Amino acid sequence: MAANSNFVDNHEPEEHSYNYDLVVIGGGSGGLACAKEAASFGKKVALLDFVKPSPQGTSWGLGGTCVNVGCIPKKLMHAASLLGEGIEDAKAYGWEVTKGAHSWNNMVEKIQDYISSLNWGYRTDLRDKKVEYINSYGVFVDPHTIEATNRAGKKTTITSRRFVVATGGRPRYPDIPGAKEFGISSDDVFSLSSPPGKTLVVGASYVALECAGFLTTLGYDTTVMARSIFLRGFDQQVAEAIGAYMREHGTKMIRPAVPTSLEKLPSGKIKVNWKHDETGPHLTSLILYFLRWVE
C-alpha cells in the first residue's frame, strides 16, 4: 500500500494535556531507535527501561538483550575462543608460540567494561536527542496512563498520547524441580564471576549451540542435551552438519533427552536427572543452563 502523505490521525487531537507525546517501553535497539526518531520530529518523548533481575540476580543497563546478554558478549566470547584456536594453528605456519592458560575472569571483566561503555553511550545519546530516560518498570493503568516503579519501589504516574511497547523477551525455565534454584540462563553466563566448569547446556537453539561452542573451545567440558532436532526451524541438513562439526571439536551430545529435576549433592555438585524423550514438551530455544554435571 502506498504511503498517504495527507493521512491525519484523528483518533486523538494533536493538542493534549498528557505528559508526553510518546512513551516507549523498552530500551533495546527497537525502543531506542523509535524514541530518538520521534524526538527528531519535535515530539516530547520518554523511554522507560527496567530489567528485572534473573532468578540468579543478574541485571544490566540500557541497550537491550543484544547489547547486554546476547550478540555483543556472545561474539566477544567467540573471538576469545577463536584466538585460542588460532594460537594452535599458528604453529603450522611457522610461529613459535605457546598457548597459556585462559582466564575466564579477565575475559568477563573486559567484556563487561565494554558493555558498560555502550550502556553509558546510549544514555548520553538519549539526552542529546532530548529523550527523557526513566529507569522504571511500567504497567498500564488505562490507554493513556502507566504506573512506573523504580528500583527503590517509588511509583510515578505517567501519561502519554501514544505508547510503543518494545520489551523483547527473556529466557524461560522449564517447570521441573530445582531449575531456577540451581540452573542459570543465558542472562547470567556472560557476566558469570567464576568459570562455569563442567557444563550442561539444555536446548538446541542457536543460542544454546553457540554458547556450547565457545565454552568447549575455551576448554570447558561441555555437553548439549537436546529434546529432538538441532536448530528447529532451520534447514536440517545444515543443522545436522553443525552438530557433527561440534562433536568433532569436542562438544558432547545427549539426545533425545530432557531434564526432569536438578538437585544439589553434599559435595556441592549439581545432579541432573533426565530421561530419553522424543515426544515430550518442547523446551524453548532460549533456555540455557550451565551446571556442574554429575555422571
Q: What is the grid cell recorded at 228?
A: 529432538
Structural domains in the chain plus CATH codes: 16-170 (3.50.50.60), 179-276 (3.50.50.60)
Least confident of 10-14, 80-84, 194-198: 10-14
| Cell 529523550 belongs to residue | 131
Asked if residue 251 lies in contact with residue 166, where contact means CB atoms within 8 angstroms, the answer is no
| Positions of E strands within the chain | 20-25, 45-48, 131-134, 137-142, 145-149, 155-165, 199-202, 222-225, 252-254, 257-264, 270-276
Please state, in angstroms and rounded to a whole number, the distance separating the CA atoms of residues 46 and 32. Answer: 10
Whether the CB-CB separation of 274 and 183 falls below 8 Å is answered with no
Spatial contact of 259 and 272, defined as CB atoms under 8 Å apart:
yes
d(CA 21, CA 17): 9
pLDDT tens-place string over residues 179-190: 999 999 999 999
For 55-77, what is each residue's pLDDT tens digit?
A: 999 999 999 999 999 999 999 99
Is 72 in contact with 66 (CB distance < 8 Å)? yes
- Tell me the whole-structure pTM to 2 decimals: 0.87
Q: What's the pLDDT tens digit per position in 239-281?
A: 999 999 999 999 999 999 999 999 999 988 899 999 997 554 4
